[in-house]
Amino acid sequence: MKLSRRKFLGSAAAGTAIAAAMAHSMPAIAGDTVAVGSLHDLTGSLDAFGVPSHMCMKFAIEEINAAGGLLGKKIDLKTYDGQSDIKKFPQYAQQAALNDKVVMLQGAITGASREATRPVLRRYKVPFVYGTIYEGGLCEDNAISVNTGSDQQAVPLLEWSFRNLGKKVFYIGADYNAPRNIGIWNNAIAKREGGETVGEEYYPLDVTDFSTAISKIQAAKPDFLHSCLVGGPHMSFYRQWAAAGMLKKIPIVSVVFGGGQEHMILTPEESDGVIAAYNYFQELDTPENKAFIKRFEASVGADHPYINGIAIGGYNGPMLWAEAVKKAGSFDRDDVMAALAQNIEWTGPGGKMILDGKTHSTQQDVRIIQVKNRVWSLLETKSQIPPYDFNGRCNLLENPKNVDILNPQV
């Protein structure tokens, strides 16, 4: 049979892609080490989120290695800087899979970087661990979410708020998918708790003038304000809110405040009294967390970025993945996911966590906390909140080929 040059090149390209995928299906673990990847924003506009998350991941790998490694092998951490540039994430994900032959990669802070990363890792059968808080709905057999979905924070926070602050809420958020999904939860919980959403506003991420928004909130006279404003420009809202004399008049609750170190950047006069909900905060007064902070500071020094509910995912992710590897007795992706289907339980700085095999998301405690003088204190703990299965639409045991991002229907 005569083969044209075009057909030959097409066949060769396909063969190369297949060979690359097959080559990765047998990770380079013959030696004394096995590679794991960290893909976080270490520079650029998102480094306030990425640097602490990477530090926590690096420390987790150090602890795994100090305990003898995994399956007799030490972990070699490969570090990639996403540079707060979406285009870098698929590029580095492919490098990690094909060149460095990682057996797991953790990272991506934003939903956009997550969605740029996970198809590449799925193609090369590299487990993807997503460590940040997010809107919820990630339902994929190759991906593991080790932090809270928006419902796990928003529902207990709003239940507490309607019980303690009043029945009228005004919701203000950044204009993208996560705050809009949290807005869905806000309205659903308001209705369920006999409350009322008296206003709802969304603002682009680059907005810095919130005078109109503050006027609308003042006119609506809510009992409390639910804020899902995100990023540096939106910190202007809190400064303008305090300058208008509103900080002590209408309480603010939030599932994102503090995640970008807002409580360390703003003055106490601009932030005192804000109430948040996270699975973890650095001041958590438990033996497990005190021991963790002591070990962490012995490794990186006391002058480190504040470890918040986003950053702690960097530590929890490798630890939960390692438990799955130990249960599987293998680094192979399919073996690890089969072990994960049996549920993985582990206790870390934030308490007990159960990685649910059906949703690949995590059951864990969530804390209602309040800031004063840049220090968080505990108001209430909601114990062992399970992950939301989106009314049965996320069931990876029955539908392992699912790769959706699901929206809440509440």
Q: Of 278, 300, 325, which one is at a domain's C-terminal end?
A: 278
Paired residues of 362 in beta bridges: 355
pLDDT band at 29 (very low <50, low <70, confident <90, very high): low
For the chain, how many structural domains are there in total?
2
- Using the predicted structure, report yes or no on whether residue 10 has a pLDDT greater than 80: no
In DSSP terms, which residues pair with 140 in a beta bridge? 403
Q: What 3-state class would DSSP assign to 92?
A: helix
**Contact between 346 and 125 (Cβ < 8 Å):** no
Amino acid at 345: E
Same domain assignment for residues 161 and 261: yes
- 53-75 tens-digit pLDDT: 999 999 999 999 999 999 999 99
Which helix (H) or strand (E) segment holds residue 344: the answer is strand 344-348
119 and 162 in a common domain:
no
If you ran DSSP here, which 8-state letter would residue 408 be given?
Answer: P
Does residue 21 contact residue 126 with C-beta atoms inside 8 Å? no
Rounded average pLDDT over 294-302: 96
Distance separating alpha carbons of residues 165 and 392, to the nearest angstrom: 33
Evaluate if residue 6 carries a pLDDT over 50: no
Report whether 148 contacts 278 (CB < 8 A): yes
Residue 171, helix vs strand vs coil: strand
pLDDT higher than threshold 90 for residue 23:
no
Check residue 25 and give its pLDDT.
46
Residue type, 375: V
Mean pLDDT of the region 45-51: 91
Rounded Cα–Cα distance for residues 25 and 98 (Å): 10
Mean pLDDT, residues 147-170: 96
* Backbone φ/ψ region at 38: left (φ over 0), alpha (ψ -120 to 50), beta: beta
* Residues 133 and 167 both lie in one domain: no
Domain ranges, residue 34: 12-148+285-364+387-405
Residues 291 and 338 in one domain: yes
> pLDDT band at 407, cuts 50/70/90?
confident
CATH assignment of the domain containing 314: 3.40.50.2300
Whether the CB-CB separation of 29 and 23 falls below 8 Å is answered with no
pLDDT for position 8 = 33
In a domain, 382, yes or no: no
Neighbours of 104 (CB within 10 A): 27
Judged by DSSP in three states, 83 sits in: coil
In the predicted model, is pLDDT for residue 1 greater than 60? no
How many of the other CB atoms lie within 10 Å of CB of 62? Answer: 16
Residue 245's Cβ-count burial label (10 Å; 0-12, 13-18, 19+) is exposed
Structure confidence at residue 406 (pLDDT): 87
> Which of 20-34, 146-160, 317-331 has the least mean pLDDT?
20-34
Residue 15 has pLDDT above 80, yes or no: no
Residue after which a domain boundary falls, among 244, 278, 312: 278
Residue 20 has pLDDT above 90, yes or no: no
In a domain, 410, yes or no: no
DSSP state of 134: B
Residue 408 pLDDT > 70, yes or no? Answer: yes
Cα 10 to the center of its chain, rounded Å: 40
> From CA 76, how far away is CA 74, in angstroms rounded?
6
Q: Is the pLDDT of residue 322 over 70?
A: yes
Q: What is the mean pLDDT of residues 115-130?
A: 97
> 45 pLDDT band (50/70/90 cuts)?
confident
Q: Residue 134: pLDDT above 70?
A: yes
Among 278, 303, 337, the domain-final residue is 278
